[in-house]
Chains A and B, each alone.
Chain A
């Protein structure tokens, strides 16, 4: 079984869905646009709860990514995903 998030939903909604997935002792390690307009979620099993919740942010330029990293966050993925039906550059990170 693989999980997908509806690509037509907003970024905060998608973030909630990924955080919901992580309440089942798994960690989201990748998130990417799928061919059917949804986003594929890749997870990894972990023995306990995630230390920090996953957050999503839409970015336009590499400089935005640098800003997130320099704020001390751990970048989990930097991918193109569907947001409100459009392909956007989305970064997943943990504070």
Chain B
């Protein structure tokens, strides 16, 4: 049985533990570290701005303001979607023209087009687009700009088109859901994704993901191999190994003549072997490349002509 004093002491210890735990959750006093922000203040403001702007717009709707939550949400969706699609059309045109005339700077195009979209409803429309853009900013920063520079306009436009079409289909499906399952915040999230499709960052992301899937599914069917070719390649491999066993000069020259990237004077045996291995894909699918390899092997002194 506990004494009264002991019980008091326990209660005190428990309450101080709880206090410390509470402080730790606040992530300030106990750990001395700064709290982790789940949503940055500007992102929270963006949602609020978006809600207010669409709400004001709905009130002035000429078909009469809806009253049911689902109808309000759908109206907000329609209006925001219309703004993004207006921007989408403008970007399509500008991208085609801009890319055709000169190289376009990644950031300049993004910012420039946000301002250049004809907004039917003045500042309110801009607020809505701005709120969606704020939601997408994090993704924007993580995109590799070099990837963008390597893409053709056609590839970028196709990526944007497929991304927009897919996301609009998602919105069309979800607007049928009851408000309890799909509220205005869910709608905002989906609209941010739709907006993202119309940014260069979104296009590049779409393209990168598509290319990754394609390269994963890529199958090279081997071209037929006759006995002469097989023997020649067995000899080539043996000669390559022999060169690596020696000074590696011929092996290195062979790869350099084939313009294989990554060959240096200090490349190790393993690196040179890996680079040779990398030629398999091209040799498997192209008889012409096989002939080139054998010719280059002669030029590099790996193989000797039998003529």
Contacts and interface: CB of A to CB of B under 8 A. Distances in A.
A6 B219 CA distance: 11
Contacts of B236: 23
A20 B230 contact: yes
Nearest to A36: B219
Contacts of A21: 222, 280, 284
A3 interface: yes
Contacts of B218: 1-2
B273 interface: yes
Given A1-B220, A4-B221, A48-B273, 17 more contacts: A1-B215, A1-B281, A2-B218, A2-B219, A3-B219, A3-B280, A4-B219, A16-B226, A16-B230, A17-B224, A20-B225, A23-B233, A23-B234, A24-B237, A24-B283, A25-B273, A25-B276
Interface string B289-307: 0000000000000000000
Contact of B241 (A1, A41, A48): A48
B238 A49 contact: yes
Interface in B247-264: none
Contact of A16 (B225, B274, B276): B225
A17 B277 contact: no
A64 interface: no
Interface string A3-40: 11110010001001101110111100000001010100
A41 B273 CA distance: 20
Interface in B204-228: 215, 218-222, 224-227
B242 to A, nearest CB: 11
Given A3-B284, A49-B238, A25 B224 contact: no
28 contacts: A1-B220, A2-B220, A3-B219, A3-B280, A3-B284, A4-B219, A5-B222, A9-B224, A17-B224, A19-B234, A20-B222, A21-B222, A21-B280, A21-B284, A23-B233, A23-B234, A23-B237, A24-B276, A24-B283, A25-B277, A34-B219, A36-B219, A41-B222, A45-B274, A45-B277, A47-B270, A47-B273, A49-B241
Contacts of A26: 277, 280
B42 interface: no
Given A25-B276, A47-B270, A19 B230 contact: yes
Interface residues of B, number: 28
Secondary structure of the A contact surface, majority rule: mixed
A3 B225 CA distance: 14
Interface of B: 215, 218-222, 224-227, 229-230, 233-234, 236-238, 241, 270, 273-274, 276-277, 279-281, 283-284
Given A16-B225, A23-B237, A48-B241, A3 B220 contact: yes
Contacts of B229: 20
Nearest to A18: B222
Contacts of B237: 23-25, 49
A52 to B, nearest CB: 13
**Most B-side CB within 10 Å, residue of A5, A6, A25:** A25
**Most B-side CB within 10 Å, residue of A2, A6, A19, A23:** A23
Contacts of A4: 219-222
A2 B283 CA distance: 13
A34 B217 CA distance: 13
B280 A24 contact: yes
Contacts of A20: 222, 225, 229-230, 233
A36 B166 CA distance: 29
